Chains A and B, each alone.
Chain A
Amino acid sequence: MKKPMQLLRSLGQVDDTYITEAAAPGAQSLCRGWLRWGVPAACLVLVVAVGIPLLSAGAKRLPLSDGSRNVQVRYADQVPAGSVSVESLLEWLSEDELLTRWNPAMVRGTVRRIRNLEIRFGTTTTHRALAEIAVETVYRGEIQPDTVIRVLLPCPIGTGIWVEDTEIVTQMQAGMAGIFILIDYDEQAIWQQNNGTLKLSDIAGFGLADGRRFAFLETTDGLVFARHDYPSLAGATDLDAVEQFLLESIGNN
């Protein structure tokens, strides 16, 4: 067999996940009805529970409104690694679309605290995290500076569990400065699964659409963000450069 054809053949046997991921990039905007709100939803990394892990005994349960039903949310001290599998449904978005697609809020602030959540829809348990961010600067959105907002993250943090397409948000730590592009959870923002409904504003005012493209973090190793998705920020090394870019982009739109 000629060598380029050998390479082409070997490509045919790559991981099914990659094949499916590339099957219909435009169709990956469908979030399979699990998350709906008043504007077209960007896709999230969904952490799907396999098996039936027990709720953390004695863990603090978050109060929910009547808009949530057949669902319980608790803070989770531990996330069982064996109970998690992942589907990544990231839709490809241009740089401009990342900043404008659903009119997100944009803030600069410092992470105050991160706590993992255990969310139980009926017999199905899934895990997320809740970040409290002290807002210093508001670029866009109805948020007051010098307030603390709660942001729902698309995966648990600090568990050592690898979740596809969350390589940026999993680096978040208390005390870390960052810039965040946020979905505002209004009254229509709900998460439905296994006959349960969680009104997202019951647990957080905002969310990140995915774990990779909507957070810019100042880590001990420097600025981290989805550099490939923001060509205009190819050379950015600090949050000030990101801030400048966002202000220019907002001005242009």
Chain B
Amino acid sequence: MSPIVSVTNLSKIYANGYHALKDVSLDIAQGEILALLGPNGAGKTTLISIICGLVNASEGSVTVGGHDIVSDYRVTRSLIGLVPQELTLGHFETVWNTLGFSRGLFGKKPDPAYLEQLLKDLSLWAKKDSEIMSLSGGMKRRVLIGKALSHQPSVLFLDEPTAGVDVELRKEMWMLVRRLRESGVTIILTTHYIEEAEEIADRVGIIDQGRLILVDDKQALMHKLGKKEMIVELEEPVSGVPEALTAWSLALSEDGCRLIYTYDPRQQRTGIPDLLKAIGGAGLALKDFKTTQSSLEDIFVNLVKGK
């Protein structure tokens, strides 16, 4: 199936000479949730701003639904909904009016029944006649999502959707994103919260200093780049790793009570049974042991550090 969004060799150099994007290519499949991870200033917002028509690209091309974003901007923009990072709303408007305005801007005739359902889905129906300035930050964030969805887009861009929101609201957002995906909407979100990508994304793209370092299926990425650790807790502390165990390159915790073995879970022979035997053979009494999988955060840090 052809991608819903296709980015080819995209570069952006701002007027001040800042090279925000460097030769980025990316295909996004219909119905997936793609999380773009990267530190501040990595180029995430520039990338989605170009796709949405807010920033002109210096080089490269983008298609949405098979249409070029420059020559066929009417088609591509009508397919896209954008939730910006900042809470940019007219403070004196009512929730109902601002959604109607957004829908009209995208060339859609008024549809009160749809907007009513949308506001109910966003738990904003009771606030439909309230002025935006009277709403809480979380509600304003939901109004922005409502505005972006008011014209029933196929692709939704969420730029840092949970920046500065509390844990409860963040979880609500994640549920909303999952519901939207179930309804067939493709979702691209930028975030620097690793847990967010880990929680809801199907694929993860990592951007750093304007370059797309990698894009991969979240599970595959964790499988490919994720390391596992086995932590062996000892009954008695040791002053150093016994010579008999040097073959496993173990690390010793500061208190000398834990031996840490890092291994690649993809290998057929992890060496764990032999290690456990060798620990016993070295005269060490084993109290407990556990294994842990690297998180996306570990992978991200390693990738950015090792670039």
Bound pair (A, B):
no
